[in-house]
Structure 1
Amino acid sequence: MTAVLQSVPTPFPPFTLRLPEADPVPLVCDSPHSGVLYPDDFGHVVPFDQLRGAEDTDVHVLWQALPSVGATLLAADFPRAYIDPNRDIDDIDPGMLAEPWPTPLHPSEKTRLGIGLIWRDAGKSGKWPIYARKLPVAEVQRRIATYHAPYHAAMREQIQAAHARFGAVWHLNLHSMPADSYEGLQIQSDHPLADFVLGDRDGSTASPEFTALVAEALRRRGFSVALNDPFKGVALIARLGRPAERRHSLQVEIHRGLYMNETTRERSAGFAALQNALTAVSREIADYVKDQVT
């Protein structure tokens, strides 16, 4: 694995885009939280190892076979704790700002938990304040313009191009989840976290058939799968998923215990086996998508 640096000169390209390497299918996938280039203007005070806990480390690597089956794969290179591309730009805690935001803000439950557009807290259950300062509005606006907005523009371009060409598009929003996800979300649960959680915002962003196909592909390979528990999906799939227009968007969360040491972020002995399983799952999904448009 490449060493992760605490300070990378800014600005740098906000994402890596891999286009189909086989006959293209209208399957567009993104990993918005696996970025590990930490900008030198971050200005955080939290210990770096605690800050890294926000990463979906290596998710884009686990799914690296997607372009080989005809899909598009977009991965953020910036870290989500710096600015989170899976949040709307008005999902900001006004208490973090040095002066008033120029337009109305709409903080969500994520902001209340300290993980809105600009993260307030890091570490297990958000016990580590990220900043010892208020953030100037101009600084937050610069993060939006340099990283958040280009990421969304790239996603929009790929989604629109696929839909224009094929008359339909399927989107996978790829993530990983910590073992203590229920605790972090302040949710009481009487059952353990599943290996995979599929989120379709309670059936509103993807057809039931597509969600069921992905779930079954995972279950056949021995994984436990939950639907919308505890993750339903946030801004990206809410914006993209419109099944009535043949625009299907599904969030996929992987239990980090399957492939990494959550303390060191190092890949575990199970990494290669999981990557191989997801290669087979990617092929099944691509075959399904191809069948829907031919």
Structure 2
Amino acid sequence: MLDTILNVDGEEGQSIPLIVDSPHSGVIYPSDFNHQAEFSKLRQAEDSYVDELYNYVSEIGGVILNANFPRSYIDPNRAETDFPSEELIDFDVKKEKFLFNPTIKSELGIGLIWLRIPPNGEPMYANKIKFSEFIHRVKNYHRPYHKTLKEIMSSTYQRFGKFYHINAHSMQNKATAMSDQEKGTRRPDFVIGDRDGTSCKREFTDLIVDFLRSLNYSVDINDPYKGMELTDAYSDPKTNKNSVQIEVNRRLYMNEITRIKSDNFDLLKTNIGSLLNDIKLQIEKGIL
């Protein structure tokens, strides 16, 4: 089961404390995903090809983890409590020992389980979800992903005394109706999120920002994306556990509607590879 929901590459040859995870690039849609969306619209939730953009990390001694399932089915980058219980058809708060704590993401329909269809926010389901379906997704998809990432981080930390974790994503070129930004707001080439400096050393953020800007990319920090669950949950820069989120604009490498790679894909992949090489160099020099 684990092999079908996620992939890990680079563990056997790991030589540096660099970890990448791509939680939203999965394209294997479970048969029990009873949505009512047009598939072309549903695919707009995918961070298409992000796993490919970063897979070079395993060639230089790092480790990469990818989800195979789609984020719209269940999102590893949300807390398992980030869902409105009133959207479950049969949830009994007195009977079930499960606490919910929905965030703004759930209000937008993009919490732990997506309830809205991108990009305009139509209902994802004809009926509410059963609690048994909810728990199935949590236990068989969300928790195994987190468990695997924690194990990679733990083994890396035990071996090197530190880790540098990149939570890799892609973003739409313009904000949609399902965003907390004003619809139509244009995004930069990259957004780097370190949860306002709390999820990693400033040197790690600065290295990434400075390197990307040296390639003439436009880069914003923590706006509009600061990093969510996977950046926050396991980071502690005071003990050398560093996590940063990188969002890359999809217009740099693909057609957002057809999901077809553009002619610029290889250039972006090369530039991200150069960034990973620079991070490796700074780790080996002891700067990170």
Question: Alpha carbons of 1:286 and 1:106: their partners in 2 closer, same or farther (altered >3 Å)?
Answer: same
Q: Which residue of 1 aligns with 2:237?
A: 243
One-letter amino acid matched to 2:223: D
Say which SS state the counterpart of residue 142 (structure 1) adopts.
Answer: helix
CA-CA distance at 1:287 after TM superposition: 1.5
CA-CA distance at 1:145 after TM superposition: 1.1
Q: Residue 104 of structure 2: which of 105, 109, 129 is its match? A: 109
Q: Residue 74 of structure 1: which of 55, 65, 72 is its match? A: 65
CA-CA distance at 1:228 after TM superposition: 0.4
Distance 1:11 1:24 in 2: 25
| Offset from partner CA, 1:196-233 (integer Å, 9 cap, x none) | 00001100001111100011111111211100010000
Q: Which residue of 2 aligns with 1:156?
A: 150
CA-CA distance at 1:290 after TM superposition: 2.6
Distance 2:243 2:177 in 1: 26
| Offset from partner CA, 1:166-193 (integer Å, 9 cap, x none) | 1111100000000123754232499741
Say which SS state the counterpart of residue 13 (structure 1) adopts.
Answer: helix
TM-score normalized with structure 2 length: 0.93
Distance 2:184 2:285 in 1: 39
Count of residues paired in the alignment: 284
CA-CA distance at 1:12 after TM superposition: 6.5
Question: Alpha carbons of 1:130 and 1:280: their partners in 2 closer, same or farther (altered >3 Å)?
Answer: same
Q: Residue 129 of structure 1: which of 105, 119, 123 is its match? A: 123
Distance 2:141 2:56 in 1: 25
Question: Alpha carbons of 1:265 and 1:189: their partners in 2 closer, same or farther (altered >3 Å)?
Answer: closer
1:280 matches 2:274: yes
Given that 2:2 and 2:144 are in contact with CA atoms closer than 8 Å, whether structure 1 keeps it comes out as no
One-letter amino acid matched to 2:283: V
CA-CA distance at 1:11 after TM superposition: 8.7
Distance 1:30 1:11 in 2: 16
Is there any run of 5+ residues in structure 1 with no aligned partner, and where? 1-9
One-letter amino acid matched to 1:106: N
1:93 matches 2:93: no
One-letter amino acid matched to 1:84: D
Say which SS state the counterpart of residue 181 (structure 1) adopts.
Answer: coil
Q: Which residue of 2 aligns with 1:186?
A: 180
Given that 2:73 and 2:113 are in contact with CA atoms closer than 8 Å, whether structure 1 keeps it comes out as yes
Q: Residue 142 of structure 1: which of 111, 136, 139 is its match? A: 136
Given that 2:174 and 2:186 are in contact with CA atoms closer than 8 Å, whether structure 1 keeps it comes out as no
Q: Residue 33 of structure 1: which of 2, 24, 48 is its match? A: 24
Please report the RMSD computed on the Cα atoms of aligned residues, expressed in angstroms.
2.0
Say which SS state the counterpart of residue 283 (structure 2) adopts.
Answer: helix
CA-CA distance at 1:20 after TM superposition: 5.0
Distance 1:11 1:274 in 2: 30
Q: Which residue of 2 aligns with 1:4?
A: none
Say which SS state the counterpart of residue 19 (structure 2) adopts.
Answer: strand
Given that 2:109 and 2:178 are in contact with CA atoms closer than 8 Å, whether structure 1 keeps it comes out as no
Distance 1:46 1:191 in 2: 25
TM-score normalized with structure 1 length: 0.92
Is there any run of 5+ residues in structure 2 with no aligned partner, and where? none
Given that 1:204 and 1:243 are in contact with CA atoms closer than 8 Å, whether structure 2 keeps it comes out as yes
CA-CA distance at 1:123 after TM superposition: 1.5
1:226 matches 2:226: no
Distance 1:201 1:163 in 2: 21
